[in-house]
Amino acid sequence: MENTVWIEQLFWPFPWRSVRWRSSCQIGIAGEAPWGLPRRSTTHELHGQMSFFSKFLKLGSHNMAIDLGTANTLVYVEDQGIVLDEPSVVAIETINGIERVKAVGDDAKMMMGKTPDTIKAVRPLRDGVIADIEVAEKMIEHFIRKVHGKRTLFRYPEITICVPSGATSVEKRAIRDAASNAGASEVYLILEPMAAAIGADMPVTEPVGSMVVDIGGGTTEVAVLSLRGLAYTTSVRTGGDKMDEAIVSYVRRHHNLLIGETTAERIKKDYGIAIIPEDGVGETFTLKGRDLVNGVPKEITINQAHIAEALSEPIGAIVEGVRIALENTAPELAADIVDQGIVLTGGGALIRKLDEHLREETGLPVSIAENPLTCVAIGTGRAMEDPIYRGVLHTA
């Protein structure tokens, strides 16, 4: 596959013509026209013309880096930076038994929890990996087309995409295939904590140990990095989603009130805090949902201390992951971490006082990356653009 180039996109809008170009410079065309023409198969020798043809195909095409996250997908385009940042949500409508994509990203997220029976809003990634491959492919394809606009005839981007460090080879292949099927000519993978560390300007190419904790929607990745490699990594399947679930179940248990995931996420963002506020209460706010006893809509008053209590379990799991990583870090690297400290990235890093809590629990300096939500996409983009990071990309 290494030297094989798919140029299916050249034949857009005739996608049934699938052309494979091998390193021996042969083109084999296989496919069947929808009006029933017989399957054709021809082979042309193209001595030495590969580079010209490649350049031609790449006209108007930009390589892309994708942070395919459980909660958000970000697309970084070569020489342009982040051009797309939308929720990883797809709304699917079923009419007469036939499913079609109704909305993707922001539009689909607005429908979550409010859809009629004929529409379902799906999150194709769960726990940091692809749970629904077909929907994930559709989502990636939609975002690539959105970024590339109308230049689809020359669509030929190389795509660098990040994967959680704990992803299995099957999961990695699913992500690769989704990007290939969505039109990528070549797919490179980068491990998410490496991308996060590059995006947070950490010294990953130097012989210095540093620790990054990327708290995403589905997973928390804890990694110790040195010399372009991961010296130790662990992935905890706890992140923002588990925090939302913890808020839903806290409110149900203590107030007999049923709230949706979207409401819980909003509360987490607006009031979420890792430790009980100094005055023991913090901010007080109201919350609406459905009363579990009599089934009618109801409003309750709750405060930040309650939210800290609700979040204690998922935050405890994150702290435990950090502690395990520290225990397993080689002494020389551990000594570096004492100086360098721990850097937090990912949306979960924005939970109030989480840095303070980790500082207390580990006794180490803890800082939050400048743009925690975009670190991974920026790091993936830099790894794609800057030859200094080339060693961190993988093809499988």
Ligand X SMILES: Nc1ncnc2c1ncn2[C@@H]1O[C@H](COP(=O)(O)OP(=O)(O)OP(=O)(O)O)[C@@H](O)[C@H]1O
List of residues contacting ligand X (CB under 6 A):
69-72, 128, 216-219, 239-241, 265, 268-269, 272, 346-348, 350-351, 373
Complex with Mg ion: residue 216 or 379, whichever CB lies closer: 216
Report the nearest approach of Mg ion to the CB of residue 236 (Å): 13
- How far apart CA 154 and CA 244 sit, in angstroms, is 42
- How far apart CA 152 and CA 80 sit, in angstroms, is 18
With binding defined as CB under 5 A, does residue 216 bind Mg ion? Answer: yes
Complex with ligand X: residue 9 or 217, whichever CB lies closer: 217
With binding defined as CB under 5 A, does residue 381 bind Mg ion? Answer: no
The residue count for binding Mg ion (CB under 5 A) is 3
Report the nearest approach of ligand X to the CB of residue 112 (Å): 13
Complex with ligand X: residue 57 or 274, whichever CB lies closer: 274
Report the nearest approach of Mg ion to the CB of residue 303 (Å): 30
128 binds, among Mg ion, ligand X, none (CB under 5 to 8 A by kind): ligand X
Report the nearest approach of ligand X to the CB of residue 71 (Å): 3
265 binds, among ligand X, Mg ion, none (CB under 5 to 8 A by kind): ligand X
Complex with ligand X: residue 319 or 373, whichever CB lies closer: 373
Q: Which amino acid is at 133?
A: I
Complex with ligand X: residue 7 or 319, whichever CB lies closer: 319
Contact string (CB under 5 A) for Mg ion, positions 58-77, x = contact = -----------x--------
Complex with ligand X: residue 5 or 191, whichever CB lies closer: 191
Report the nearest approach of ligand X to the CB of residue 237 (Å): 9
Report the nearest approach of Mg ion to the CB of residue 195 (Å): 9
Residue nearest to Mg ion (CB): 216
- How far apart CA 103 and CA 123 sit, in angstroms, is 12
Complex with ligand X: residue 180 or 235, whichever CB lies closer: 235
373 binds, among ligand X, Mg ion, none (CB under 5 to 8 A by kind): ligand X
Residues 6+ apart with CB under 8 A from 170: none
Complex with ligand X: residue 155 or 172, whichever CB lies closer: 172
71 binds, among Mg ion, ligand X, none (CB under 5 to 8 A by kind): ligand X
What tokens does 97 get? 């038994």
Report the nearest approach of ligand X to the CB of residue 270 (Å): 8
Bridge partners, residue 74, by sequence: 67, 85
Report the nearest approach of ligand X to the CB of residue 253 (Å): 21
The footprint of Mg ion (CB under 5 A) covers 69, 216, 376
